Amino acid sequence: MVDMAWTALPDGTIDFVNEKARIYGGDAPGDAHNLFESLHPDDRQTFLDRWKGSFRKGETCEVETRWLRRDGIYRWFRIRIIPVLGEDGAVDHWFGTSADIHDAHQAHEALRQAQGANEAVLARLQRVLDHSVDAICSFTADGTCVEMSIRSKDIWGYEPAELVGRNFGDFIHPDDRERSGRDNIDIRAGRPVSTMQQRYYRKDGGIVYIQWSSVWSDEEQLFFNIARDVSAQIEAESRLQQSQRLETLGQLTGGVAHDFNNLLTVILGNAEFLAEQLPEHGDLHRLAVAMQDAAERGSALNRRLLAFARRQALEPKITDVNALMGSMDHLLRRTLGEHVEIEIVRAGGLWRGFVDPAQMEAAILNLCLNARDAMPGGGRLTIETANAYLDGTYAASHEDVQPGQYVMVAVTDTGQGMPPDVVNRAFEPFFTTKDVGKGSGLGLSMVYGFVKQSGGHIKIYSEVGQGSVVRIYLPRTRETGDAAGTSTGKLSSLSGSDKILLVEDDDLVRSHVEKQLRGLGYRVVAVANGPEAIEMLDKVADFDLLFTDVVMPRGMNGQQLAAEARRLRPELPVLFTSGYTENAIIHHGRLDPGVHLLNKPYRREEMARKVREVLDEAREAAQQAT
């Protein structure tokens, strides 16, 4: 168990401590101090030397030292410091854990002096052994357990008597046995071993990570060991590394998405135009359609990467999930095929969710496609909705879950099922059990990213040969209003004669979109950046819509342009478009209220609908105001 967790700047100044560390040191919330100030004077130089070496190499530092408690007492800790590197490869800050090993350290010292001790000393030693947070034990040279303290029950699940006489090599994970043997040889030879950490099987079949401190006694021909369960620490480090990978993927995806989607907008639009103009030219028409399909697949891949990295622009609405599932019935039956029997079970009195309905549909469709692929010979697919409550106990045992009320959607199949190791990796990006070319490995990771970005939870249950069930938990909303999924608004038209100010920095995209808008009957003035747009708004007063990219050069992005435009023309509606919006109009993964966004790439009809929707909404609002 990790007693303390903290972070520090590169120079060692602690800028965050958890509650246990704060209570131990007596710090007030927000206090900052240098970690070297709390070390025992005799230990500071050793610690500093280790830390400097880790700083130079950018490696994890681990050292045992004495740390001052708020009452003036020093206790022994095993301090593990992990460097977190910045984009330039230099140490940005440190992530540290401090495990209290005082009792174990004292017991270790007592063990080394135990020879010739009287019964009173041995009795006191036994009390230390029984109350230590670590397991204290001895082994023969071949790994046979001779003595084991009572802590073994908590670590391995075995009573001490069940372990005495058994060879501990039988419990070591196969991948760690060779290294464990080398470590034991080094210890017997008197060579230092920096970290002895191995995975062991518990009695219940689970895996536990054990960190050892060990000495060899030539006189008794025994290893004397202290074993600590560091599973929680390893899990914390794994979560930190996963968070860093996610952030890196998000930055990489976001950096590429904007330019990539600009190109796809032009390719998709031109392919669509060619397909419409060449219906009588078979080969050319097929080539144009193939270009459309390729562009849409590229767009889908980009959207999935953004979804996994939790960088997509969500438009959450009060959503009738039952109505949404009902509206998907025809699509699912047409997509999955006749060999899959589909049943949708919608709970009565279902709460409303607060979710992006379009992304919700995409997530459910992805789950259903995965289920279909798991039933190549056919089977039964069940989609079920229900109200659910996740309590504090459940939330504490699952990462990033808040206790509370949720709308649950379960997708169950009667397919092949998955073994535990596949279930554990199912949400990883690019992980797939399908043959090469049969899947990108982004379907489930996209669903995972969407659910997490929506503030929800997702869980897989599966058994080989018995099928799988994926449960999605979406936040319940108590807000009132019309629910998405129950009706669709009608547009006045897909064309118009309104005057549009188009702002797009990419020459190809600007030219392409201008032609499409003019083809729909609109009057268009196209400029390349925000300053040019402001200049045009000063000159021309009769614009009906500002249609602007979000990410632009010249020191003014789309959001800043819109703010200035509304200062000049408060009634002017704004439609944003982008392949990646960063944080300009999106906060906490959601579009700001009242913001309209058209994601690139888009078809001409999608653009026409969105432009008309924003214009009609603005016209209706103006009529109501008068």
Burial class from Cβ neighbours inside 10 Å (0-12, 13-18, 19+) for residue 12 reads middle
On the question of a common fold for 4-100 and 104-229, the answer reads: yes
DSSP state for residue 579 in the 8-state scheme: S
Please tell me the predicted confidence (pLDDT) of residue 588: 47
27 C-beta neighbours (distance < 10 Å), count: 16
Indicate the pLDDT class of residue 474, thresholds 50, 70 and 90. very high
Angle at 209 between CA 205 and CA 214, to 5 degrees: 120
Please tell me the predicted confidence (pLDDT) of residue 320: 92
Please tell me the predicted confidence (pLDDT) of residue 488: 46
**Are 440 and 455 in contact, with CB atoms under 8 Å apart?**
no
Q: List own/partner pairs for 69-77 with CB under 8 A and 24 or more apart.
A: 69/24, 69/25, 70/23, 70/24, 70/25, 70/26, 74/40, 75/100, 75/102, 76/100, 76/101, 76/102, 76/105, 76/106, 77/3, 77/4, 77/101, 77/102
Phi, psi (rounded to 5 degrees) for 552: -140, 160
Mean pLDDT of the region 129-158: 83
Cα 313 to Cα 287, 358, 390, 443, 600, distances in angstroms? 32, 11, 27, 18, 11
**Are 276 and 416 in contact, with CB atoms under 8 Å apart?**
no
- Which of the listed ranges 78-87, 154-163, 440-449, 584-593 does the model predict with the highest average pLDDT? 154-163
Mean pLDDT of the region 534-560: 87
pLDDT at position 230 over 80: yes
* Exposure string for 336-359, b = 16+ CB within 10 A, e = fewer: beeebebeeeeeeebbbbbbbbeb
pLDDT in tens, 235-270: 777 766 666 665 666 566 655 666 777 777 778 777
DSSP string over 20-77:
HHHHHHTPPTT--EEGGGGB-TTTHHHHHHHHHHHHHHT--EEEEEEEE-TTS-EEEE
Per CATH, is 4-100 categorized as 3.30.450.20? yes
Per CATH, is 104-229 categorized as 3.30.450.20? yes
Residue (of 303, 593, 586) closest to 449 by Cα position: 303
Cα 398 to Cα 156, 160, 240, 459, distances in angstroms? 22, 31, 15, 10
Q: What is the mean pLDDT of the chain?
A: 80
Indicate the pLDDT class of residue 207, thresholds 50, 70 and 90. confident
Range of weakest confidence among 74-78, 93-97, 199-203, 313-317: 313-317
Please tell me the predicted confidence (pLDDT) of residue 582: 56
Please tell me the predicted confidence (pLDDT) of residue 429: 64
Mean pLDDT of the region 431-457: 70
pLDDT at position 464 over 70: yes
Largest CA distance in the chain: 103
**Are 40 and 68 in contact, with CB atoms under 8 Å apart?**
yes
Say which amino acid occupies 568.
L
The label of the residue with tokens 């970690």 reads: 35
The Cβ-side half-sphere exposure at 429, using a 13 Å CA radius, reads 18
Indicate the pLDDT class of residue 2, thresholds 50, 70 and 90. low
Mean pLDDT of the region 271-289: 78
Mean pLDDT of the region 341-360: 90
| Pick among 1.10.150.130, 2.40.30.130, 3.20.20.150, 3.30.565.10: CATH of 317-475 | 3.30.565.10
pLDDT at position 336 over 80: yes
| Residue predicted with more confidence, 93 or 469 | 469
**Are 81 and 51 in contact, with CB atoms under 8 Å apart?**
yes
- Looking only at the bridges linking them, the beta strands covering 457-463 and 467-475 are antiparallel
pLDDT in tens, 412-430: 999 988 888 788 777 776 6
pLDDT at position 408 over 90: yes
Question: What CATH number was assigned to the domain covering residues 499-625?
Answer: 3.40.50.2300
Q: Which helix (H) or strand (E) holds 275?
A: helix 231-277
Say which amino acid occupies 48.
L
Give residues with Cβ within 8 angstroms of 1, minimum separation 6.
99, 133, 229, 232
The C-alpha atoms of residue 446 and residue 432 are separated, in whole angstroms, by: 13
Please tell me the predicted confidence (pLDDT) of residue 227: 86
Please tell me the predicted confidence (pLDDT) of residue 196: 75
Q: Structural domain boundaries of the chain?
A: 4-100, 104-229, 317-475, 499-625
Please tell me the predicted confidence (pLDDT) of residue 525: 94
Mean pLDDT of the region 547-569: 86
Secondary structure tally for the chain: helices H, strands E:
19, 25
Q: Output the pTM of the full model.
A: 0.51
Mean pLDDT of the region 291-314: 66
